[in-house]
A and B are shown apart, each in its own frame.
Chain A
Amino acid sequence: MVGLEELKNLIDEAGFSMRAKEKLIQILTEAKNRGSITPEEKIKLLEIVEADMALDKVELEARKEVISVLEDFKKALEK
């Protein structure tokens, strides 16, 4: 199983939003200093990761919609 320190490194490189990353690192650091993680902390970590991924999804959809409109515009220009 991955250690908390290793997890922090993975989080650092995964492209989380700044706010999500700060929260995740903060919780992990506190857990590491204490030597254990509480169920609440674990749930919170999962929720933050889920939240960040959900925002990515929203961004992804938004960008795809932008591309779709740009494509329409490009087609219109070509005509």
Chain B
Amino acid sequence: MGQEQPSIEKTSEVEKEKELERLNKSFLKLVKEKAGKSLGELDYEEIIRIGEEFKQLPEVKNFEARYGELTPISPEEFTSAQKVKREKGGGLSKKKRLEEGAKEYWGEDMWKLSEYYRRSEGAKKGWEKRKEGEKTFAEEAAEEEQKRAAEAKVMMGEELPEEAAAAEEDIETLKKKTREEYEKAGFKFEYKKEPEKKYRRGPQRELWIDKVGNALIKGIDKMADGIAISGVAVEKGVRHCLALGLKPAAIIEDFNRRIFAGPRKFFEKIKMRREAGKAIEKSDKEELDRIFLSYSERIKEIEEQKKKKSRIWELIKQIKL
């Protein structure tokens, strides 16, 4: 298809990268707080000391629980890096350092110090291997990630390969398919060029979202001819469908049945009544109240379940291997 393909591996990698970005920011912030100077001004001992404190942060522990322990590079590597920095333009902006070849300061793949804590053992190996002209850390990591993702696919059971293949389709195909599913289910599809603010993302500002080809559909909206249910896209759909071994269409179907079917039926009835020139009856208002009540109760229930599920997540995280 000639364009970047969405896939489970890439989704996972993207999320990991985002998390790493956040961790990097936390690390830099901590350096400022604890040392009162910038990262490049620290000596090795200071970096390690702050790094140990950094590792006590809950967000770092969470990350390690998911992706493995983060460890710093060795003193020898640090000394070597400093030497390169002196020779190749340390003190320049990050962009400039890269441009000027100062990326060697941290090695090809770890050009900023905050990345010490994301490269862990792999960094040490990579450092050595680069010297020997073997595979870089990045190449090794990519292979590892592919291997891990392949294993994860197998663990997901029989439905996943099909879904994984589906995720490889380009975003336009996925959008089209999802739209068809939605329309087949009887909903009006509405493509919004100007989505609500919360859904704005990236230069296209499209409601159809990002690299993964997320295409779960939900939502209700008002239409010009009265109130009816139409569709808006929400993020996160495909990934979560895949994680549960479900097809996006199955989620849509489930949502249609559990969430939208009741109100849609109600509004259709009202619309028909209006078209027939009849007034709204007391029983309609009572039905409306009943829908309100059931929705409010379900919202409370979900919020309660969220607490239980968060607790379970914590417990799983604490399981010793």
B288 within 8 A of A: yes
CB neighbours (8 Å) of A65 from chain B are 218-220
Number of interface residues of A (CB under 8 A): 52
Contact A52 B244 (CB under 8 A): yes
- Chain B: CB-nearest residue to A1: B318
- Chain B: CB-nearest residue to A64: B299
The segment out of B85-93, B123-131, B147-155 that lies at the interface is B147-155
Contact A48 B244 (CB under 8 A): yes
A67 to B292, CA, bound (A): 6
CB neighbours (8 Å) of A11 from chain B are 312
- Point out the residue from A15, A48, A58, A67 that lies within 8 Å of B296, measured CB to CB: A67
Q: Secondary structure of the A side of the interface?
A: helix
Known: A46-B65, A65-B220. A19 touches B302 (CB 8 A): no
- Chain B: CB-nearest residue to A20: B244
CB neighbours (8 Å) of B299 from chain A are 60, 63-64, 67
- Chain A: CB-nearest residue to B246: A19
1/0 contact string of B93-128 vs chain A (CB within 8 Å): 000000000000000000000000000000000000
Q: Secondary structure of the B side of the interface?
A: helix
CB neighbours (8 Å) of B263 from chain A are 66, 69-70
Number of interface residues of B (CB under 8 A): 61
A53 to B310, CA, bound (A): 8
CB neighbours (8 Å) of B313 from chain A are 46, 49-50, 53
A39 to B306, CA, bound (A): 24
Known: A38-B321, A46-B317. A73 touches B227 (CB 8 A): yes
Contact A59 B243 (CB under 8 A): no
B contact residues vs A (CB 8 Å cutoff) = 65-66, 68, 148, 151-152, 155-157, 216, 218-222, 227, 234, 236-237, 239-240, 243-246, 251, 255, 258-260, 263, 267, 270, 280, 285, 288, 291-292, 295-296, 298-299, 301-306, 308-313, 315-321
A contact residues vs B (CB 8 Å cutoff) = 1-2, 4, 7, 10-11, 13-17, 19-20, 23, 27, 36-56, 58-67, 69-70, 72-74, 77
